[in-house]
Amino acid sequence: MSVFKSVLISFKRNFRIVTIYFAVFIVISFAMLSILNDKVDGQFERVKPTVLLIEQGATSEFNEQFKHFLNSIAHVEQPTSDRLLARDLVESEQYAMLIVLDEDAAANLATGAPVLETYYNDSDNGAILIANQLSSYFRYLNASQNISGSADYATVKNAMASHVPVELINKKSATDKKAIWFSYYMVNLAYIVIVLFTILLILVLQAYNEPALVNRRSLAKLSKFKQSLLMGAAGTTSLIAIALLFFLLGLALVGFAVPLRQIVLHLLNLVAFSTTVISFTMLLISFNIKPNFAHAVANVISLSTAFVSGIWIPLEFLPSIVVNFAKLLPAYYYVKLANGIVDGGVDVALLIAIQLLFTVCYSAISWYLNQHLLAKTQAAL
């Protein structure tokens, strides 16, 4: 209990500085929210696959209804009537599908003849989704014609909305959008965690031997290394609690509409990454550098890490040499897991284990330096 009281005293003695940092962190957080909203909105505007539509002949009610339906499941472009060029664009994966609407589409619909000509890459999930929805659409149209003698588009639209995922992408994105936004939030939170933990932990640990703390006998009778260890543990607990507040803030902003499994994985990722930052800060303190210099080093490290590890700039936009360097930093694995939690396909255990390995390495080096310093001090006495 005395240790935690000492941490609180350290915060109290540096209240003005801590308040300034918290104000900066809150400003950064809310600035980050608006940036993330734009980023996620832009992504979800492109969620629907884009198709090329070549319409031949005169328009009809069927043509207009079909184009209306197609717009509900895809972005539709009509830039060319050249089929060969259109096929090349699809093959180069610039578009998900080529659809040629026959000039006799309405008549063919009544006779059961082919209405559309489609061309797409069967390895494109977006194109496969469109193909399945087109198949369902025409199955409903044919059923409608067989019952009433003509295509009842209103009935078909209602049936599709009720039983076939015409707006599957839009409905799914309501949850996915929040989950993806939260993953972006967690990526950007890494920068705040780095700055928060390095600077504030330095403040706490380098002030623990002030008179107000030394007077606490339970600390004063311990060796300097044990005092640092206990203060580090108390500071770590306090700072992780602060990080969890930011975590809960992000969840609150999305209305806790993130799948429970993803919340748990993000939480584990955050805690693992926090231990790496804290252990690195303990290593930094082992060099007994002055607080102001330590703060400068912490800011340089946090900024450079944010740039090269994919926190501010997506890794796919960075040169390969930078990405290879980023793999030497724990933030790279944190960002990789935070980005991969929504889509899956990442080895969660491995990425967390790598971060914990960084923690062990930093802690081992810090322990060695402290032991070396202790031995040197005892030899001098």
With bands split at pLDDT 50, 70 and 90, how would you rate the model's confidence at 170?
A: very low
Cα–Cα distances (Å) from 65 to 60, 69, 72, 77, 263, in that order, read: 9, 6, 11, 16, 42
DSSP one-letter string for 148-200: HSS--HHHHHHHHHHHS-TTHHHHHHHHHHHHHHHHHHHHHHHHHHHHHHHHH
Measured between alpha carbons, how far is 323 from 315 in angstroms, rounded to an integer?
Answer: 7
Q: Is residue 1 predicted with pLDDT exceeding 60?
A: no
Q: Is residue 213 predicted with pLDDT exceeding 50?
A: no
- Which range has highest mean pLDDT (20-34, 49-63, 190-204, 216-230)? 49-63
Tokens of 116: 């559309």
Is 3.40.190 the CATH number for 48-171? yes
* Mean pLDDT value across the chain: 75
pLDDT tens string 56-92 = 766 777 888 888 888 877 888 876 677 777 777 777 7
For the chain, the domains span 2-43+173-380, 48-171
Measured between alpha carbons, how far is 351 from 336 in angstroms, rounded to an integer?
Answer: 8
- In this prediction, residue 94 carries a pLDDT of 76
Extract long-range pairs of 27-32: CB within 8 Å, 24+ residues apart. 28/191, 28/192, 29/192, 29/246, 29/249, 32/185, 32/188
pLDDT tens string 241-261 = 878 888 998 899 888 888 899
Q: Is residue 325 predicted with pLDDT exceeding 50?
A: yes
